[in-house]
């Protein structure tokens, strides 16, 4: 008779915390077995050169070289693929510097394995035939890289609730209503509308009570999945309805491979249980997951859970109510954005007054000082937002707030880079101006708390800026997101907080070991989402269009002549020759900045008294647009227009080049200017003196700025190149070709009874196929760094290898000490 302990047991799913701890212990033991740690080197730093071997080791190595080696080449390599296989083997053995993660676009192998698995995902998912990205070298990101070592894909538990006929209230092809018992949870992947009908549930820090309000939730595989947990219920259970939504964000997968394999794929076992009475091909925009093994695409899915210390800190901070002024800071990758989002949602929870002494009716102010990873804005900006509703989703699901129900942007300033280290003085001035705007906001919303999200620039000069903000912004709390120090950061930060009489809370970081997108890729996704998102006036939620920007109607502005709209064009950074301005500007991302005063340039000696004929013309042009629907505009006084002509030089194309400074251009004073948003310069026409812009900025916002007499200036910063915009037409052509092929295959299956296809119909299909193929070929010529591969067998064979790099996982390596180079980082 076997004892109970001797019985073989199935491997149970392990939590994310246990798996991360086990991997860390395994990595530490492996490192200790390979080499002895050097006393004077920081942990994790590789030696500067190879260690000298002992005579015994040298002899053993010589014997090893004389022994015949066993071939590791795959035996099933096709002769046609042998040159490519040899090239890959040579590349792997080459000792060149490893390319950095934020500059590596999805590799050819990643596309192959990705699309091979996503054939069953949706009919419109593109096939992986023909694109290879050339990785860029020499970036300074030392914190994330492709996962070279194989990662064990473990079965992580996601939902504690198992669906059955007892807890499924009703279901159809669009909706699913379930009962969740107290302390039980349910996880969905995809995007959906959530309606709490009975009981109280928690979601991403918010406690949602029964009401008629419907919340839009975005749960992509690129981030940890939000967990719906029952806090309290009626008869011990809460009742929620989850409904499919069609915002159009899934259309972005036709424009970029970064959006592939992001949402739900095939129906899971739980989905099939609740879709018994409908067509087998029916699929909702969400899927229920019990464990990560339920995912048909086998992605690296994890639930979004919080440390207990995080939860207690959020509850403690929320007790301050309207008096809360919290600065969240810490190293890169420590969870600052996640903690800020949870705290924000917790403060915005529509909880009854009996549950807490504070009932939030004035919203929450969110001061985002992280231009590299903003929450409600595109890259390169710092801003003050006023939120009135919880937000459930990653940043690329809400890249802007345009007077929506969720909130609005009170004021924004264009930094022009992903890092404030480019101009710390201008960064501090912008932060102080936004804090002044918050104090003005308190006049209308006196019980509005404030959350300040500080970037991971916490070492060196960044620490000095942080301590200055702690001592000058009038805070109530400072939260540092790393219990491992270092001491050279904790001590000055604690001293500044003590002098300002502000408590300092130190919390453990909660990083993610592996992610499916690098920082640069997430920035591209957020920027692409920003330019494709619209806010219809008759809808509460945004929509996304799937048309390439090159095929949309441009926003045309005049930069010279009698109808001049743009008063100046500025290039941040080094001074350039005026003859090169058009080349620098065309195809770049620019900010549309509204300049409120003639002496807005920092260090400029220009005065409001300087005159020119240009402002008067601009006033007339503005008044024609603004007062078009005003019946009594004849007696309206014309606003004074800002004059910037003293610092403008005309280029050969008559572009108004705005430059003031020595070596680099002086930025605008944040107290006398603000950013309206970003635009993509599509083309410049010197003949008509016009610039075609692609921008999601509402025309009403631009008209409002011109009505106040503000000068509009295009500012070209140091943001990432919009490679995603240049390649959109190519991916759209591939997607169209893929959809047409799929339609022909479906038609052929339905017409199996016909032995002969009509000749005329066959010729028509051939013409359409050739036309689509030619469109793909012509679109590929516009993207020089993409290589069209005609023989797809190499990529398919590579994707079958199944390494973690080919599966698209990125390994995060966080270093929190002063000598790690964090001060020079552009990604936080």
For 5-26, the DSSP string reads GGS--PPPP--HHHHHHHHHHH
Q: Strands 568-571 and 711-716: what pairing?
A: parallel
d(CA 729, CA 735): 10
**How confident is the model at residue 2, as a pLDDT?**
44
Res 300: pLDDT = 87
Q: pLDDT tens across 235-261, in order?
A: 899 999 999 999 999 999 999 999 999
> Lowest-pLDDT range, 32-46, 489-503, 802-816?
32-46
pLDDT in tens, 758-813: 788 888 888 999 999 988 888 887 666 555 554 444 444 444 444 444 445 555 44
The yes-or-no verdict on residue 412 having pLDDT over 50 is: yes
Whether 297 has a pLDDT exceeding 80, the answer reads yes
Structure tokens at 602: 């920092």
SS3 content of the chain, % helix, strand, coil (to 5): 35, 20, 45
> What is the arithmetic mean of pLDDT over 122-129?
35
Residues 406, 219: Cα–Cα separation, whole Å: 18
User: pLDDT by residue (tens digit) across 643-671?
Assistant: 788 889 999 999 999 988 887 888 999 99
- Residue 174's contacts (CB-CB under 8 Å, 6 or more residues apart) are 243, 244, 284
Task: For residues 676 and 668, give the distance between their C-alpha atoms in angstroms, rounded to a whole number.
Answer: 14
| C-alpha span between 490 and 353 (Å, rounded) | 37
159 or 87, which is more confident: 159
Which domains are assigned to the chain?
Answer: 168-294 (2.60.120.1030), 308-509 (3.40.50.300), 540-724 (no CATH)
pLDDT for residue 365: 96
Percentage of the chain beyond pLDDT 70 is 68
How far is the C-alpha of 532 from the C-alpha of 284, rounded, in Å? 23
Query: Per the structure block, which two tokens stand in for 472?
Result: 């000058």
Looking at residues 384-391, what average pLDDT do you find? 94
Question: In angstroms, how far is the first alpha carbon of the chain from the final one?
Answer: 59
- Judged against a pLDDT cut of 60, whether residue 442 lies above it is answered with yes
Mean pLDDT of all residues belonging to the chain = 76
546-588: per-residue pLDDT in tens? 999 988 889 899 999 888 999 999 998 878 899 999 999 999 9
How many Cβ atoms sit within 10 Å of the Cβ of residue 353? 8
The angle, 0 to 180 degrees and rounded to 10, between the axes of the packed helices 461-472 and 424-441 is 20
Q: What does residue 571 show for φ and ψ, rounded to 5 degrees?
A: -120, 115
Least confident range from 98-107, 249-258, 402-411, 635-644: namely 98-107
Which pLDDT score is estimated for 522? 92
């Amino acid at each position: 008779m076997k004892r109970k302990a001797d019985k073989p047991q199935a491997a149970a799913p392990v939590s994310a915390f246990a798996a991360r701890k086990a991997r860390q212990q395994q990595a530490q033991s492996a490192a200790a077995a390979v080499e002895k740690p050097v006393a004077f080197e920081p942990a994790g730093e590789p030696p500067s050169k190879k260690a000298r071997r002992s005579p015994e080791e040298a002899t053993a190595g010589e014997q090893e070289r004389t022994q015949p080696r066993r071939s590791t080449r795959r035996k099933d390599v096709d002769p046609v693929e042998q040159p490519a296989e040899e090239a890959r083997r040579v590349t792997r053995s080459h000792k060149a510097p490893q390319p950095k993660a934020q500059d590596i676009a999805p590799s050819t192998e990643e596309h192959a394995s990705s699309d091979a698995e996503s054939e069953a995902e949706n009919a419109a998912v593109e096939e992986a035939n023909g694109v290879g990205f050339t990785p860029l070298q020499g970036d300074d990101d030392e914190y994330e890289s492709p996962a070279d070592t194989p990662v064990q894909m473990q079965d992580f538990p996601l939902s504690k609730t198992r669906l059955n006929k007892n807890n499924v209230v009703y279901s159809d092809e669009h909706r699913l209503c379930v009962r969740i018992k107290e302390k039980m949870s349910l996880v969905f992947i995809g995007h959906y509308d959530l309606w709490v009908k009975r009981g109280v549930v928690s979601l991403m820090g918010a406690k949602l009570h029964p009401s008629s309000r419907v919340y839009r939730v975005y749960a992509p595989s690129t981030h940890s999945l939000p967990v719906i947990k029952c806090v309290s219920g009626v008869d011990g259970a809460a009742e929620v309805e989850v409904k499919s939504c069609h915002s159009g964000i899934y259309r972005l997968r036709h424009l970029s491979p970064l959006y592939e394999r992001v949402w739900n794929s095939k129906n899971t076992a739980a989905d099939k249980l609740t879709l018994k009475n409908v067509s087998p091909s029916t699929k909702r925009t969400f899927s229920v997951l019990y464990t990560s093994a339920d995912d048909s695409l086998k992605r690296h899915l994890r639930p979004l859970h919080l440390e207990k210390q995080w939860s207690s800190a959020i509850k403690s901070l929320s007790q301050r109510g309207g008096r809360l002024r919290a600065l969240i800071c810490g190293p890169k990758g420590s969870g600052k954005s996640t903690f800020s989002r949870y705290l924000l949602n917790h403060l915005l929870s529509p909880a009854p007054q009996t549950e807490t002494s504070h009932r939030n009716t004035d919203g929450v102010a969110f001061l985002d000082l992280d231009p590299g990873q903003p929450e409600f804005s595109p890259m390169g900006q710092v801003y003050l937002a006023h939120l009135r509703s919880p937000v459930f989703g990653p940043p690329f699901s809400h890249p802007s707030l345009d007077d929506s129900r969720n909130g609005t942007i009170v004021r924004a300033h264009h930094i022009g880079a992903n890092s404030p280290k480019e101009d710390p003085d201008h960064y501090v001035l912008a932060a102080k101006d936004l804090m002044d705007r918050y104090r003005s906001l308190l006049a209308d919303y006196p019980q509005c708390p404030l959350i300040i999200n500080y970037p991971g620039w916490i070492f060196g000069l960044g620490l000095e800026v942080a301590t200055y903000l702690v001592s000058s912004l009038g805070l109530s709390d400072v939260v540092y997101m790393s219990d491992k120090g270092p001491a050279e950061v904790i001590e000055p930060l604690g001293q500044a907080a003590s002098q300002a009489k502000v408590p300092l809370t130190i919390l453990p970081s909660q990083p993610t070991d592996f992610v499916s997108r690098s920082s640069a890729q997430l920035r591209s996704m957020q920027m692409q989402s920003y330019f494709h998102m619209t806010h219809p006036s008759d809808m509460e939620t945004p929509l996304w269009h799937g048309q390439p920007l090159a095929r949309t109607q441009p926003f045309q502005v005049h930069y010279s002549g009698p109808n001049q709209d743009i008063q100046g064009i500025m290039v941040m950074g080094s001074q350039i020759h005026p003859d090169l301005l058009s080349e620098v500007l065309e195809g770049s991302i620019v900010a549309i900045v509204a300049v409120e005063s003639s002496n807005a340039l920092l260090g400029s000696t220009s005065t409001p008294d300087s005159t020119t004929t240009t402002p008067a013309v601009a006033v007339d042009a503005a008044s024609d647009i603004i007062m078009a629907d005003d019946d009594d505009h004849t007696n309206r006084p014309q606003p004074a227009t800002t004059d910037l002509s003293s610092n403008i030089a005309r280029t050969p194309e008559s572009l108004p080049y705005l430059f003031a400074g020595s070596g680099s251009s002086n930025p605008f004073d944040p107290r006398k200017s603000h950013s309206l948003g970003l635009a993509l310069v599509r083309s410049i026409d010197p003949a008509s003196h016009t610039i075609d812009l692609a921008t999601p900025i509402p025309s009403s916002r631009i008209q409002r700025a011109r009505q106040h007499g503000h000068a509009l200036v295009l500012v070209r910063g140091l943001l990432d190149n919009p490679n995603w915009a240049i390649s959109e037409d190519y991916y759209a052509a591939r997607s169209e070709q893929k959809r047409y092929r799929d339609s022909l295959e479906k038609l052929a299956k339905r017409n199996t009874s016909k032995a002969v296809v009509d000749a005329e119909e066959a010729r028509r299909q051939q013409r359409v196929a050739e036309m689509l193929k030619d469109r793909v070929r012509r679109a590929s010529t516009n993207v020089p760094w993409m290589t069209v591969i005609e023989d797809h067998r190499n990529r398919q064979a590579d994707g079958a290898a199944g390494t973690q790099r080919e599966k698209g996982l990125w390994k995060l390596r966080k270093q929190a000490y002063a000598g790690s180079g964090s001060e020079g980082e552009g990604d936080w």
